Amino acid sequence: MTNKKPVSAAVIGLGSMGLGIAKSIARRKIPVAGFDVNANAVASLSACGGIAAASAADAAKNRDVVVVVVVNAAQTRSVLFGDNGAAKTMKSGGVVISCATMSPDDARGLERDAEEMGILYLDAPISGGATKATDGQLTVMASGAPEAFDRARPVLDAIAGKVYELGGVAGIGASFKMVNQLLAGVHIAAASEAITFAARLGLDLGKVYEVITASAGNSWMFENRVPHVLDGDYSPRSAVSIFTKDLGIVSDMARREKFPLQVASTALQLFLMTAAAGMERDDDASVARMIAGVTNVALPSPKNES
Amino acid sequence: MTNKKPVSAAVIGLGSMGLGIAKSIARRKIPVAGFDVNANAVASLSACGGIAAASAADAAKNRDVVVVVVVNAAQTRSVLFGDNGAAKTMKSGGVVISCATMSPDDARGLERDAEEMGILYLDAPISGGATKATDGQLTVMASGAPEAFDRARPVLDAIAGKVYELGGVAGIGASFKMVNQLLAGVHIAAASEAITFAARLGLDLGKVYEVITASAGNSWMFENRVPHVLDGDYSPRSAVSIFTKDLGIVSDMARREKFPLQVASTALQLFLMTAAAGMERDDDASVARMIAGVTNVALPSPKNES
């Protein structure tokens, strides 16, 4: 029955992911308001059928489903429970879909605080990038109470190609996302190391890409990121700072669990070196550029200098 | 013209890869002799249409194409140029297809020595495993003189689904293979770290496999090796010792080039720890079992204890 009721939604955080999510919701004729600290982002929302709001509280007012698409746990906490936060104004019994990558402990803390205010909470990290967000084809790794899934369903259907329902409490979705980020970060670092080493060996890097993507050494990240290196294009599709953050969370979790993560720790150091070298806001394939700089290896230059 | 002449072949080294290669050659009606130090392997060859030989020299006698499928450069050198080696008896102007994973320097040295004896040499590492070998569907990463490719063509066509022609001299094929092994080794180590960490976090490992293989954290190795962990089956499809060897070669190459490989070096240490813990001859997914042992994490037990 719940699924049949019309729902209203808000999206807090209108970066490329949040804006794509808001568009996907609007396309399903679900009324959607949005807020971001960046006024231009809010204007973009108006241009594609959303309702511009002046604060998180304003966007969430009387809404059933509030999707939070900010960078981390601290920002999520702030837009939900801070001054002008969404939790006080959204519909009682409504549901928060929390998309930021964060530690399981942080996700559990947010769920607890939402519960105390009579709000349902879905720990729902996303994967897939801006294009999939706009196409309503994200992958969602979610955990939370069954009634939270039920209440959120029309919005989840609008934004996701695949929703993994991973458990009945917050923290599980976050854990899955962190395991994914551990692997993704290591694979970017390994791809960077391998393509730069191949350049030092004098190999044709285009052929390296062709051979490796057809061989057992392939990874999703090698296939996706090495073209940035081949094009000499380090404009940020996803920035180095995302992985210093995410592998940092992985590292914190592992230390708390007294669990050694030797490969992931080494990858984190490479991202930190890349950030330290001034490339924090550049594309994460910049790890290759950092290694090339240290080792004096020539990587391809941009095809179109502007 | 050369391609149209009937050719004869020999395969030296009849492990699962070499035997599969010999079968694929025999299926094309190319006469194929074979030798291995293991008499049972030689008997298997007879059973599927090959000619059993008493030594490498005996197998190679008057043959046009000699495929060498042994473990490393030293064995390759021994079966070609040692006592009862193939180089002295094979047809003058014939070609060696050298499939062992080795350093580019070793490949160049073997090419030089073959040339001095009037023999062509293809640096031709393979990828794909025993099933693809038997199906004639290996991937070959080859470099060598054009006339070596020309002479070897009927046999390459018999054994490979895809032949990458990567350059005119030995060493290039070997370099591509080493870049692939760098990535493959890192990805096995990362998969082992991630799946064991997921177990520590209390996640459903079958779901972890499902989610990761559909996400940006995926790799060919994660997809291929984690099922061994889920089944608790560490019987060797590919042994830990292969990666202590191959990442060892990568490490030697990098040190000679003064090139730091932080992630690959860390992965090598994990394989060495696994070998040191007594699992050298077990499946390379045993890195996960080693980490689980150290961290006291429970991984799945074998489904069928025998």
Closest residue by Cα to residue A61 from A26, A98, A30, A86:
A86
CB B51 within 8 A of CB B72: no
- Residues in chain A with CB shorter than 8 Å from the CB of B17 are none
Closest residue by Cα to residue B254 from B104, B77, B74, B68:
B104
B1 has pLDDT over 70: no
Distances in Å between the Cα of A225 and the Cα atoms of A209, A299, B127, B184 are 11, 14, 23, 17
Is A127 near chain B, with CB under 8 Å? yes
| Full set of structural domains in chain B with CATH | 2-169 (3.40.50.720), 174-295 (1.10.1040.10)
Residues A119-176 pLDDT 10s:
999 999 999 888 999 999 999 999 999 999 999 999 999 999 999 999 999 999 999 9
The DSSP letter of residue A82 is S
Grade residue B48 by pLDDT with cuts at 50, 70 and 90.
confident
Residue whose tokens read 């999939």: A132
Grade residue B306 by pLDDT with cuts at 50, 70 and 90.
very low
Q: In what order do the strands lie in the sheet with A9-12?
A: A51-52, A32-35, A9-12, A65-68, A95-98, A120-123
CB A64 within 8 A of CB A8: yes
Indicate which of B141, B165, B201 best probes the interface with A, i.e. most A CBs within 10 Å of its own CB: B201
CB contact under 8 A, A291 and B260: yes
Is B260 near chain A, with CB under 8 Å? yes
Distance CA B172, CA A217 (A): 17
Which of residues 62 through 121 in chain A touch B, CB cutoff 8 A? 104
A197 vs B141, B222, B259: nearest CB: B259
**Amino acid present at B92:** S
CB A192 within 8 A of CB A288: yes
Is A205 near chain B, with CB under 8 Å? no
Distance CA A151, CA A64 (A): 8
Better pLDDT: A109 or B1: A109
Six-digit token pair at A259?
């669990």
Q: What is the CA radius of gyration of chain B?
A: 21
A3 has pLDDT over 90: no
Mean pLDDT of chain A: 96
Distances in Å between the Cα of A303 and the Cα atoms of A256, A284, A300 are 46, 19, 8
Grade residue B4 by pLDDT with cuts at 50, 70 and 90.
low
This prediction has a pTM of: 0.95
Distance CA B220, CA A218 (A): 6
| Contacts with A147 (C-beta within 8 Å, 6 or more apart), sequence order | A120
> Residue B33: what are its φ and ψ, rounded to 5°?
-105, 160
Six-digit token pair at A207?
């052929």
What ipTM was reported for this prediction?
0.95
Percentage of chain A beyond pLDDT 90 is 94
User: What's residue A4's pLDDT?
Assistant: 60
Distance CA A268, CA A184 (A): 11
Residue whose tokens read 């022609």: B165
Closest residue by Cα to residue A271 from A296, A251, A254:
A251
CA distance A244 to chain B (A): 16
**Amino acid present at B294:** V
Instruction: Taking residues A82-103, report their average pLDDT.
Output: 97
B305 has pLDDT over 70: no
User: How buried is A98 (Cβ within 10 angstroms: 0-12 exposed, 13-18 middle, 19+ buried)?
Assistant: buried
Which of residues 285 through 304 in chain A touch B, CB cutoff 8 A? 291, 294-295
Residues A229-238 pLDDT 10s:
999 999 999 9
Q: Which secondary-structure segment (H or E) carries B114?
A: helix B104-116
Provide the 10 A C-beta neighbour count for residue A5: 9
CB A218 within 8 A of CB A194: no
Q: Which secondary-structure segment (H or E) carries A221?
A: helix A220-231
CA distance A196 to chain B (A): 9
CB contact under 8 A, B176 and A224: no
- Active-site residue, B177 included: yes
Q: Note the helical H segments in A82-160.
A: 104-116, 129-134, 146-159
User: What's residue B302's pLDDT?
Assistant: 87
